[in-house]
Amino acid sequence: MSFISLSLLAGLFAYLSPTNALTAPSPATSACSVLTSSLGAKKVASSRLSLEYISSKQDYWNARQSSYKPTCVIYPEAAEDVSVALKAINAAGTRFAIKAGGHNTNDFFSSVDDGVLIDLGYMTAKSYDESTTLATYEPGNRWGDLYNFYQPYGRTVMGGRLNGVGSGLALGGGLSYLSPQYGMACDSFRELEVVLPSGEIVTASNTSNPDLFLGLRGGGGNAYGVVTKYTVQSRPAGKFFAGNIVYLFQHTDAVVDAVRDFTLYNLDPKASVMATYETLTTPDLNLNLDEVIILFVVYDGEDPGTAFANFTSIPNLVDTSSLRTYPQVTDMPVPLLAQLTRADNIFRMGVHHIETDTYKTALKNWRAWASANKGQYTYTSFNLYPVAKSLTDASKAQGGNALQMPDGPWLWSNYVLSTPPDLLNVTYEKVQASFRDMVAATPMATDLPLFLNEAAKDQNALATFSTYSELQKIKRKYDPDGFFETKTGGWSFA
Ligand SMILES: Cc1cc2nc3c(=O)[nH]c(=O)nc-3n(C[C@H](O)[C@H](O)[C@H](O)COP(=O)(O)OP(=O)(O)OC[C@H]3O[C@@H](n4cnc5c(N)ncnc54)[C@H](O)[C@@H]3O)c2cc1C
What's the number of domains the chain is made of? 3
The answer to whether position 184 is within a domain reads yes
Respond yes or no on whether the N-terminal peptide bond of residue 409 is cis (omega within 30° of 0): yes
Distances (CA, A) of 260 to 55, 353, 411: 42, 10, 9
The answer to whether position 8 is within a domain reads no
Same domain (yes/no): 344, 251: yes
Averaged pLDDT, 19-41: 84
Same domain (yes/no): 170, 110: no
Integer Rg of the chain from CA: 24
Same domain (yes/no): 200, 245: no
The answer to whether the Cα torsion of 213, 185, 110, 485 is positive or negative is negative
Q: Is 411 helix (H, G, I), strand (E, B) or coil?
A: strand
Same domain (yes/no): 263, 232: no
Ligand 1 atom at shortest distance from the alpha carbon of 169: 17
Percent of the chain with pLDDT over 90: 84
Same domain (yes/no): 263, 358: yes
> Has residue 285 got a pLDDT over 90?
no
Same domain (yes/no): 267, 403: yes
Residue 74's contacts (CB-CB under 8 Å, 6 or more residues apart) are: 35, 39, 43, 44, 45, 81, 85, 116, 117, 118, 119
Reported as a single tens digit per residue, the pLDDT across 258-279 is: 999 999 999 999 999 999 999 8
List helix spans (H) across 290-388.
309-312, 326-329, 335-340, 358-372
With the most atoms of ligand 1 within 8 angstroms of its CB, the residue from 64, 96, 108, 110 to mutate is 110
The answer to whether position 152 is within a domain reads yes
Name which of 16-20, 228-232, 380-384, 403-407 the model is least confident about.
Answer: 16-20
* Closest C-alpha to ligand 1, atom 31: 168
> Has residue 373 got a pLDDT over 80?
yes
Residue bearing the bigger pLDDT, 174 or 376:
174
> Has residue 222 got a pLDDT over 50?
yes
The answer to whether position 11 is within a domain reads no
The answer to whether position 491 is within a domain reads no
Pocket of ligand 1 contains residue 227 by CB under 6 Å: yes
The terminus-to-terminus CA distance of the chain in angstroms comes to: 54
Calculate how far, in angstroms, residue 115's C-alpha sits from the geometric centre of ligand 1.
Answer: 21
DSSP string, 268-312: -TTEEEEEEEEEESS---SSS-SEEEEEEEEESSS--TTTTHHHH
Reported as a single tens digit per residue, the pLDDT across 158-184 is: 999 999 999 999 999 999 999 999 999
Same domain (yes/no): 259, 228: no
- C-beta of residue 107 within 8 angstroms of C-beta of residue 483: no
> Has residue 7 got a pLDDT over 60?
no
Same domain (yes/no): 419, 448: yes
Distances (CA, A) of 262 to 255, 423, 478: 10, 44, 42
With the most atoms of ligand 1 within 8 angstroms of its CB, the residue from 104, 157, 178 to mutate is 104
- C-beta of residue 135 within 8 angstroms of C-beta of residue 155: yes
Percent of the chain with pLDDT over 70: 91
Instruction: Count Cα neighbours of 158 within 13 Å in the Cβ-side half-sphere.
Output: 31
The answer to whether position 49 is within a domain reads yes
pLDDT band at 288 (very low <50, low <70, confident <90, very high): low
Calculate how far, in angstroms, residue 296's C-alpha sits from the geometric centre of ligand 1.
Answer: 20
> Has residue 4 got a pLDDT over 50?
no
Averaged pLDDT, 239-252: 94
Same domain (yes/no): 363, 270: yes
Residues spanned by the domain of 51: 28-121
Q: Residue 437, class by beta-carbon neighbours within 10 Å (0-12 exposed, 13-18 middle, 19+ buried)?
A: exposed
Residue bearing the bigger pLDDT, 317 or 17:
317
With the most atoms of ligand 1 within 8 angstroms of its CB, the residue from 454, 462, 479, 488 to mutate is 454
User: What is the pLDDT, as a whole number, of residue 18?
Assistant: 37
The answer to whether position 463 is within a domain reads no
Reported as a single tens digit per residue, the pLDDT across 318-366 is: 999 999 999 999 998 654 565 555 678 899 999 999 999 999 999 999 9
> Has residue 216 got a pLDDT over 90?
yes
pLDDT band at 118 (very low <50, low <70, confident <90, very high): very high
* Closest C-alpha to ligand 1, atom 41: 227
User: What is the pLDDT, as a whole number, of residue 17?
Assistant: 37
Same domain (yes/no): 371, 443: yes
The answer to whether position 10 is within a domain reads no
> Has residue 8 got a pLDDT over 60?
no
Same domain (yes/no): 221, 319: no
Q: What is the CATH number of the domain that holds 52?
A: 3.30.43.10
User: What is the pLDDT, as a whole number, of residue 10?
Assistant: 44
User: What is the pLDDT, as a whole number, of residue 9?
Assistant: 46
How far apart (Å, rounded) are the C-alpha atoms in residues 348 and 491?
Answer: 14
Reported as a single tens digit per residue, the pLDDT across 405-440 is: 999 999 999 999 998 876 656 678 899 999 999 999
Q: Residue 232, class by beta-carbon neighbours within 10 Å (0-12 exposed, 13-18 middle, 19+ buried)?
A: buried
> Has residue 257 got a pLDDT over 60?
yes
Query: Can you say how many angstroms the Cα of residue 167 is from the centroid of all Cα atoms in its chain?
Result: 9
Q: What is the CATH number of the domain that holds 411?
A: 3.40.462.20
How far apart (Å, rounded) are the C-alpha atoms in residues 387 and 473?
Answer: 28
**Parallel/antiparallel/unpaired status of strands 96-99 and 72-74:** unpaired
Last residue in a domain, options 94, 121, 148: 121
> Has residue 473 got a pLDDT over 50?
yes
State which amino acid sits at residue 108.
F
Residue bearing the bigger pLDDT, 1 or 114:
114
Same domain (yes/no): 318, 392: yes
Q: What is the CATH number of the domain that holds 231?
A: 3.30.465.10
Give backbone dihedrals phi and psi of 357, rounded to 5 degrees, phi first.
-100, 15
Give backbone dihedrals phi and psi of 67, rounded to 5 degrees, phi first.
-80, -15
